[in-house]
C-alpha cells in the first residue's frame, strides 16, 4: 500500500533498513543496560524476543538477497516478534498501570490474530481443487 502511494521503492527500502538498524541498536543498548539473570517470565520473554529479532534480521537479509519466499517468512516472523515485544513490555514494567497493560495485551492479541489470518490466507490459497485418493 505504501508503494502505491509513494511510488518510490528505493525510498521505502532505505526507510525500512534505517528503522530496522535503529531498532537493532536500541535492542543492543536495551539488553546491555538492563542485563540481569532471568528472574521472571516477562524477562524471559524479552530474551526470546532478542533471539527472534535475530531470526527476523536474517530473513530480512535473505529478502534483500532476493531469496524465494523470504519476504513471507520475514513478515510472519516480524508480526510474531512485535507481539512478543509488546507482551514483554506490558508485563515487565511495574510503572505501566494494570489497565493500560491489559489494553496493550488486548490490542496486541487483536492485531496478531488479524495478521495471522492474513498470512494464513496467503499461505493456503483458496479455490484449489481437492484431489481424491484412488481407490
Task: Return the percentage of the chain with pLDDT > 90, whole number.
Answer: 0
Q: Is 58 exposed, middle or buried (0-12, 13-18, 19+ CB in 10 A)?
A: middle
Is the pLDDT at 109 greater than 80? The verdict is yes
**Annotated domain spans of the chain:** 1-35, 37-123
CA distance 38 to 94: 16
CA distance 76 to 48: 16
Annotate 86-134 with DSSP letters as a single string.
HHHHHHH-TTS-HHHHHHHHHHHHHHHHHHHHHHHHHHS-TTPPPPPPP
Give tens-digit pLDDT for 47-102.
788 778 777 777 777 766 677 777 777 777 777 788 888 777 777 777 778 888 88
Amino acid at each position: 500500500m505504501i508503494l502505491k502511494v509513494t511510488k518510490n521503492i528505493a525510498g521505502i527500502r532505505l526507510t525500512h533498513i534505517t528503522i530496522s538498524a535503529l531498532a537493532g541498536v536500541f535492542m543492543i543498548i536495551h539488553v546491555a543496560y538492563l542485563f540481569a539473570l532471568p528472574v521472571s517470565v516477562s524477562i524471559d520473554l524479552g530474551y526470546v524476543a532478542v533471539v527472534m529479532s535475530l531470526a527476523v534480521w536474517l530473513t530480512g537479509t535473505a529478502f534483500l538477497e532476493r531469496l524465494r519466499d523470504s519476504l513471507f517468512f520475514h513478515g510472519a516472523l516480524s508480526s510474531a516478534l512485535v507481539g512478543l515485544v509488546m507482551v514483554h513490555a506490558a508485563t515487565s514494567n511495574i510503572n505501566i498501570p494494570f489497565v493500560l497493560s491489559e489494553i496493550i495485551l488486548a490490542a496486541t492479541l487483536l492485531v496478531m490474530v488479524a495478521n495471522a489470518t492474513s498470512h494464513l490466507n496467503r499461505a493456503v490459497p483458496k479455490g484449489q481443487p481437492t484431489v481424491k485418493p484412488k481407490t
